[in-house]
A and B are shown apart, each in its own frame.
Chain A
């Protein structure tokens, strides 16, 4: 399809619990990006993939965050032992051979 599908739309986790977010990029798009939107408007880059390979992970908090893009599966972003500060909206975007980046509608993670 021509949309980036993110699931779930909302996720509530108790502090210390694991959170897993999913992203199905547009078919044929080779690049996938994860962003964290905190403080209402600020987008923070987390990680990008070229197909199933990590392309740039300079924004990832290494200790608790991990991500994968496996063939024939949605990409995933996993947060182990969530903290209150992880509460944010997480956006996934995919990019094809042209220069267009298409964003999903996001997953709102609330850590209580």
Chain B
């Protein structure tokens, strides 16, 4: 069963507008969430993260929102730029308890920002 789901395989947004990427999870043990950006033929690059004790974290143009009751998080990119075009992965891990710290990934959302 897939514990981290990104239900939109792709998203197209006009340059300058907001991009919203969504992620749902099922495992209640997850307490730390990360977003990665990936270009073809490169490794995932860390973007932003959020702990389960928070509901929002902001870093420049990137904001991640966490709704624990809904087991949902979203990444907002404002304003979107053509260089943001990439595949975005949501990932989750469980730090507390006897976790193994491995990241569980969603299948990614391909973002295309149209100039």
Q: A65 interface residue, CB < 8 Å from B?
A: no
Residue-wise, chain B 32-51 has the 8 Å CB interface mask toward A (1 for contact) of 10101000011111100101
Among the stretches A13-21, A71-79, A80-88, A94-102, the one at the interface with B is A94-102
- A contact residues around B100 at 8 Å (CB): 48, 55-56, 58
Q: Within 8 Å of chain A (Cβ to Cβ): is B107?
A: yes
- Contact A103–B45 (Cβ < 8 Å): yes
Tell me the nearest residue of chain A to B102, going by C-beta.
A45
A22 at the interface (CB under 8 A from B): no
| Total interface residues in chain A, CB < 8 Å | 25
Say which residue of A56, A99, A105 sits within 8 Å of B102 (CB atoms): A56
B95 adjacent to A43 (CB under 8 Å): no
Given contacts A41-B87, A48-B102, A56-B100, contact A91 B32 (CB under 8 A): no
Q: Determine how close the nearest CB of chain A comes to the CB of B101; give it in whole angstroms.
A: 6
Across the two chains, which residue of chain A brings its CB closest to B49? Answer: A99
**B102 proximity list for chain A (CB < 8 A):** 33, 45, 48, 56, 59
Q: CB of A25 within 8 A of chain B?
A: no
Interface size on B, residues (CB 8 A): 22
Q: Tell me whether A2 is interfacial, beta carbon within 8 Å.
A: no
Cβ–Cβ contact A33 & B103, under 8 A: yes
Q: How far is the CA of A31 from the CA of B107 in the complex (A)?
A: 24
Q: C-beta contact mask, A39-54 vs B, less than 8 Å → 1, else 0?
A: 0011101001000000
- Quick one: which of A43, A104, A105 has the most chain B CB within 10 A? A43
Q: Which residues of B contact A (CB under 8 A)?
A: 32, 34, 36, 41-46, 49, 51, 87, 89, 95, 100-105, 107-108
Interface residues, chain A, CB within 8 Å of chain B? 4, 6, 31, 33, 35, 41-43, 45, 48, 55-56, 58-59, 91, 93, 95, 99-106
Q: A42-B107, A99-B95, A101-B103 are in contact. List 12 more A-B contacts (CB 8 A).
A: A6-B43, A31-B101, A48-B102, A55-B101, A56-B100, A56-B101, A95-B101, A99-B32, A100-B46, A101-B46, A105-B41, A105-B42
